[in-house]
Amino acid sequence: MVWGGAMNMSPADDLLIRVERTLDLDSEGQLVASVLSKKAAAGSTHVVIDIPTGPTAKVRSQADAQSLLRGLQLTAHALGLTLHGLISDGSQPVGRGVGPALEALGLRVLLAQDGLEAVERLQDDPRAIDLVLMDLTMPRMDGKEAFQAMRRIRPDLRVILSSGYNEQESLQSFLGRGLAGFLQKPYTLEALRTALRKALEP
């Protein structure tokens, strides 16, 4: 059971913790309130949310992820927050999402739901993007296809590949193609920072 008083976490969490109930997974509304109340309490104005989705993640289906993202967007708007959301491959553990990590590094981030949208965003303004951090496994267009399409648009584009598979398996299709780096999931914030720094070096 969860019971008792507040824990001085955030207003929404304190209210939820005061409610005596059988311990179970948070409802969608509770999850939205918990995440965004922390951001608002911290004084954030822009929020990047990564929603890992899959059989081993907290959000199991694309439909559930889309519903959660809509709830986050509506609530963020009501709180005066600018929110960008990404539904990603859930093969990495929950809590290791790349969106919050990039936000923490102070980067300006453009998000794409899948490989095809990433290519379309690059096509819209090829010089607006300095670096792409891309998953190997994505819906509609996978990492290999997206990489090839991006390089046709901009041959000098720097791309870091990320995957839950090991580096040797993941890079077989990319040998000699000039990837800027590889990150194996799960990875730490320090590993992400190091990969970004190396990839962005002149």
Q: Is 142 designated active site?
A: no
Contact in structure between 199 and 181 (CB atoms under 8 Å)? yes
* Ramachandran area for residue 151 (φ above 0: left; ψ -120 to 50: alpha; else beta): alpha
Four-point Cα dihedral 100, 159, 153, 121, nearest 10: -10
CA distance 90 to 96: 10
Max intra-chain CA distance, the chain: 59
At 191, the amino acid letter reads A
Contact of 19 with 44, CB cutoff 8 Å: no
Catalytic residue (one of 26, 50, 64, 125):
26
Q: Which residues have a catalytic role annotated?
A: 26
